[in-house]
Chain A
Amino acid sequence: AQKVTQAQTEISVVEKEDVTLDCVYETRDTTYYLFWYKQPPSGELVFLIRRNSFDEQNEISGRYSWNFQKSTSSFNFTITASQVVDSAVYFCALSEANSGYALNFGKGTSLLVTP
């Protein structure tokens, strides 16, 4: 069963638009960690954020913000005023004790930002 669901396979926006990438997870653990990684066309996986299950505070980092809601098991990622350089595949991942804390990735959302 898929533990991390990223329902949006592809999103296309025009530069300067805001865009939200959805992530829904499934776990029975009370302690777990959620991550977002970015994979640009060059292929590397770039760490963006880590959030633990006890910290539901939203986080903002420049144009990036994250909304963690345990009630809906969601950890959504918003890019404000998108730029062409934001074009990439974005992965949400879950880490839980049941799986030895290995990262369990969603299928990814491919974001294309056009000028």
Chain B
Amino acid sequence: DSGVTQTPKHLITATGQRVTLRCSPRSGDLSVYWYQQSLDQGLQFLIQYYNGEERAKGNILERFSAQQFPDLHSELNLSSLELGDSALYFCASSVAKGTDSGNTIYFGEGSWLTVV
């Protein structure tokens, strides 16, 4: 158990809908990362927040947004869903801003999203 908690574990929704994925980082971790894992794209970095502020952006679509709240939990919002958004979405956390501090990024168990 990495200590990173993600909900829901599984989600099935229709095209055009909007969903919210939730993440609670490990106790003491200030950074939260979101990754998407799909068969064709592999593991892709979406976005990172550090202590409530956006720190880095990866291949995140404009239809997707995220935020980190004062209690450090984070939410990833996916809107106008398309079939191609079906994927496993990981949340990860680390103590510091990034691995440059030598710290490690720990991943949650992921949220399986199926768009039908």
> B-contacting residues of A (Cβ < 8 Å)?
31, 33, 35, 37, 42-47, 50, 52, 91, 95, 97, 99-108
Contact = CB atoms under 8 A, between A and B. Distances in A.
A104 to B, nearest CB: 7
Contacts of A97: 100
Interface residues of B, number: 26
Given A100-B48, A102-B58, A107-B42, A44 B98 contact: no
Contacts of B55: 100
A38 to B, nearest CB: 11
Contacts of A107: 42
Contact of B107 (A33, A44, A52): A44
B64 interface: no
Contacts, number: 69
Contacts of B110: 43-45
Contact of A52 (B33, B45, B102, B106): B102
A44 B99 contact: no
Given A47-B2, A107-B42, A108-B42, A101 B107 contact: no
Interface string B29-65: 0000101000000110100100000011010000000
B27 interface: no
Contact of A45 (B58, B90, B102): B90
6 contacts: A42-B109, A47-B2, A50-B99, A52-B102, A101-B97, A103-B105
A110 to B, nearest CB: 12
A46 B90 CA distance: 12
Contacts of A104: 45
Contact of B99 (A33, A91, A105, A106): A33
A4 B20 CA distance: 31
B104 A50 contact: yes
B61 to A, nearest CB: 16
A35 B94 CA distance: 14
A47 B56 contact: no
